[in-house]
Amino acid sequence: MQKILRLLLVVIVCVGCQSSTAKKEVSKSITDKREQKSSNKILFVVSNQKTYGDTSLKTSNHFGEIVYAYDVLANAGYTIDFVSPKGGEVALGYIDKANKVQQKYLENSDFLEKLKTTKTPSEVNFSNYKAIYYVGGGAAMFGVPENKEIQDLAINIYEKNNGIVSAICHGTAGIVNLKTTNGKYLYENKEVNGFPDLFERTDREYYKTFPFSIEKIIEKRGGRFSYSKEGWDNYYKVDGRLITGQDPTAAASVAKEIVKVLNELDK
């Protein structure tokens, strides 16, 4: 009888151990999924610039180009963080209150708080992000393109995370100085676009403050810059993990392509 009781006790202990192990494995699986979901992030780059160069002409980040992409990515389950060269609040412009998507985010206090408290590059860990998206607006021409820390974030996301580099309109200015570890420009021999010179008012004071022409510098450095001569017709280009759009009408499409490419990369 004692032998039988001992045998039953061993069986109970073993079953208990297996049950405990199974629970731990389930718990670990849930934790892993949570950790995987928490790293399901995309980094938006915005500028702190409030004027065109050193003039008194006001400029800003394009609100539509932020929210049209943000809405698509958030609905797809991604978490978006904002980074700027100096961190903190950034100027917003080109606001259309009649637009339903824009109005939705103008009334979203949590979203607006993110734009008042953007991260500095040193506060960002590139390993958490699957893509980087450069926002346009006149402000994008200043502060961002020359920022080495943001350049490093972009290249690390692209190379170490096998992630995506994307930009919209004047946001393409942010990628002109991006070089991969082999010393070549990230967009060399790739299809790329942004806001073309055709639609710039080159005789105006604002344009004279620009440090460069996006179109010309991309072409000079080996990129295959193209654009729609019609304009405002949802023109964008996808070349592998480089995704760029011409103007605000392409912002949502650029975001949809980000989701599509990331899904393909995750297979």
DSSP string, 28-60: HHHHHHHHHHHT-EEEEE-----BSTTSS-B--
Task: Name the DSSP class of 245.
Answer: E
pTM of the model: 0.86
Q: 238, 266, 243: which is closest to 78 by C-alpha?
A: 266
17 Cβ contact list (under 8 Å, min separation 6): none
Largest CA distance in the chain: 102
Give the torsion through C-alpha atoms of 218, 221, 222, 227, to 10 deg: 10
What does the pLDDT read at residue 24? 45
What does the pLDDT read at residue 8? 41
- pLDDT tens digits in sequence order for the chain, 267 residues long: 454 445 444 434 444 444 444 444 434 443 343 344 347 999 999 999 999 999 999 999 999 999 999 999 999 999 999 999 999 999 999 999 999 999 999 999 999 999 999 999 999 999 999 999 999 999 999 999 999 999 999 999 999 999 999 999 999 999 999 999 999 999 999 999 999 999 999 999 999 999 999 999 999 999 999 999 999 999 999 999 999 999 999 999 999 999 999 999 988
Domains of the chain: 41-265 (3.40.50.880)
Alpha helices in 96-169 (DSSP H): 100-106, 109-116, 148-159
What does the pLDDT read at residue 31? 39
Task: Name the DSSP class of 117.
Answer: S
